[in-house]
Every structure is written in structure tokens, then in C-alpha cells.
Amino acid sequence: MMDQQELQRIAQLVEMNRQKMARIEEQVSKLSEIRLEQLGVIAALKSLNTNQSTMIPLGSGVQLPATPNGETVVIDIGSGVQAEKPRAEAISILESRLQEVEEVLMTLQNEFTETETVVGELATTFTEAAKAIQQEPMTESEPTEQTSKQSSRRRKRGTELTLDD
């Protein structure tokens, strides 16, 4: 039989795990956006013809028309460092990054599933324990309620503090 402290502890565990699930969902969402962006860039690099005119987005809806004149692109290789690489090598780098993102996504999805299972088990335990406590006889709690009601009746008028005191 569980007491109320155990129930509170279980409720806190459920809440903590739900918060964890929310954080995981947020991370999965961000990584999914990154994955889609990388897929788009890889597709663009594979289909880019050096004689074909393209548009380079500058931001705020402004694009710069350009015609690539070589087989190289500039890619961020980490820590804000950019390097000029052949298009095929840039595609290879992006594909390896994409593989890493997909692995992290799988790990997060597995962690989410495990946490979801734990939350379900804890919620079931909490519900069963709460029902068991409610089914206990209420004889122990009734006298304490009566004494608290009696003590509130014993107050004399004029002895309570007011805002002026």
C-alpha cells in the first residue's frame, strides 16, 4: 500500500518524464528541419549545371542572380570556418552530416518511446494506488477535520488582525 508521499513522488516523476518528452519532441523537430534543409542542398548541388543561371538568397526575399563558373562551392567545415571544395566533395560532406543527423534522430525517437512507456507505467501505478487509498476507510481523517472546524469556531470576535494593526 502506498501513502500520499509515494503518490506525490510518482506524480512528480510523471511530470518530469513528460517534460523530458516535450524537450525530445522539440529536438526532433529542429533536427527534422535541418535534415530537410540538407536534403534540399544535396539535391540542388547534384542538379546544378555550371552553365545554368541560379538565384542566391540574400535574405528578406532578396535574391542575387548568378551563374556558377567552376566546379567548386564554399562549405562550412565547422566552427564557422568555410572552405572551397569541389562539388562532389561538398555533396559527400553533406551526406555524411545527413547520416549523423538521421542517427541522432533515431536515438531521440527511441528515447522518446522509452520515456513514453515509463510515463504510461507510472501513470498506471499512480491510478491504482490512488484508487486503493480512496477505498480505505475514512475514519482516520474524519476526526482531524472535526477538530479543525471546532478550532475555527473558538475564535473570539475582535481578536483577529486587521490591515490597520
Percent of the chain topping pLDDT 90: 46
Structural domains in the chain (count): 1
What is the Cα–Cα distance from 20 to 69, expressed in whole angstroms? 49
Residue type, 139: T
Q: For residue 33, what is the domain's CATH number? A: 1.10.287.370
Q: Is the pTM of this model over 0.75?
A: no
Mean pLDDT of the region 1-27: 88
Whether the pLDDT of residue 98 is over 50: the answer is yes
Residue 113 is assigned to a structural domain of this protein: yes
Per-residue model confidence as pLDDT tens digits over 125-151: 888 888 887 777 554 545 555 554 555
Pairwise CA distance, residues 52 & 68, whole Å: 7
**Helix (H) or strand (E) run with residue 151 in it:** helix 141-153
Q: How far is residue 3 CA from its own chain's centroid? A: 32
Specify if 32 maps to a domain: yes
- Residue 16 confidence (pLDDT) above 90: yes
Query: Is 95 inside any structural domain?
Result: yes
H or E stretch covering 134? helix 87-135
pLDDT over 80 at 156, yes or no: no
The answer on pLDDT for 28 being more than 90 is yes
Does 159 reside within a domain? no
Bigger pLDDT: 107 vs 3: 107
Task: Tell me if 21 is assigned to some domain.
Answer: yes
Local structure of residue 66 (DSSP, 8 states): E
Task: Domain of residue 30: give its range.
Answer: 10-129
Could you tell me if residue 67 is inside a domain?
yes
